[in-house]
Structure 1
Amino acid sequence: MEKSASAGPSHHFRFHRSLANLAPVFGDDWFSLRAEGFARFFGTPKFLIGQTLFVSTWIVLNLTGVVRFDVYPFILLNLAFSLQAAYAAPLILLAQTRQADRDKAHADADARHREDLALATQQRQEQVAELSARMMELLKQNTELTAMTKAMSERIEILTVEMHGRLSGK
């Protein structure tokens, strides 16, 4: 218990410190970080709303004849979607793999933390059992000493009465 009290308030992350060496496994290079950022962005409402507005504008402009660079059936738009999908799928898989690696590492750290807590609890229970046994032994010794004191007090009283009787001449 003294260890955790002296360790400070942020000590509950101590089991995750050993994961610091895993940063290269997660790919902290520029490409990996950007790829994961893009993959995370693909699932946001901002992206979905922005893409919906872009596609709607594209279709409306081409259908109304304001521009005519991609007339119906919107072959260029389909190619753009295919290109986006060709890049989005690997980026999403990369992000999922990186997240799975982080989740596994954190789950391992959490498991070590639970094991350490269980061990500390077991040690405390053993200490409590040992202290309880010692307390019972001391209580037993106290009871024996009290009985001996009582017996000696009774003996002293008897001797005092005898001496008083002899000295007073009775």
Structure 2
Amino acid sequence: MQIRPIINQQELGQTSAIFQRTWQAAYRELLPAAGLQALQPGDWEAGLVQPGRHNLVAQVDGQLVGVVSYGSPRNPQRFWPDTGELMALYVLPEYEGRGIGARLLAQAEAALAMQFSRAGLLVLEGNSAACSFYQRHGWRATGEMINQVIFGRPVRLLQYEKSLKK
């Protein structure tokens, strides 16, 4: 397995498709089916190239199978001073349980630690697999919640944090 930045437009499209597939799998019990079914492979392309956002992909046997996005907070009011944001971490369902997510997370944390003393992230309430994953890797829930509407459904995002100081 290789972890590296996205290198071209084709990979940007493939990475966006990872978001689509993983959203459809991970959130099928949490978000409206119609909204998930309407997602298109290219829906995330513009967001992936926003200023301040960095992306790493995991490649196995020539195929992109996971992605982590991190950087300066998209909404600084949601986090504390000197905090970077882990924006997304997705691994294709058929590649889960192989340590790919842990390796992507470790590389993103190391990159964030070069610029920030802490990191924050948001997890969709009810996504117990993600909550457990982050807790196993040293993240802790802050108790803060953010209300949002996704596909017309009110949801809550749970805030997690981790110190990046060694």
Measured against the shorter chain, the TM-score band is: under 0.3
The structure where helix makes up a greater share of residues is 1
TM-score normalised per structure 2: 0.18
The one of the two structures with greater contact order (alpha-carbon pairs below 8 A, sep at least 6) is 1
The TM-score, its normalising length taken from structure 1, stands at: 0.18
Q: As a proportion of its length, which structure holds more strand?
A: 2
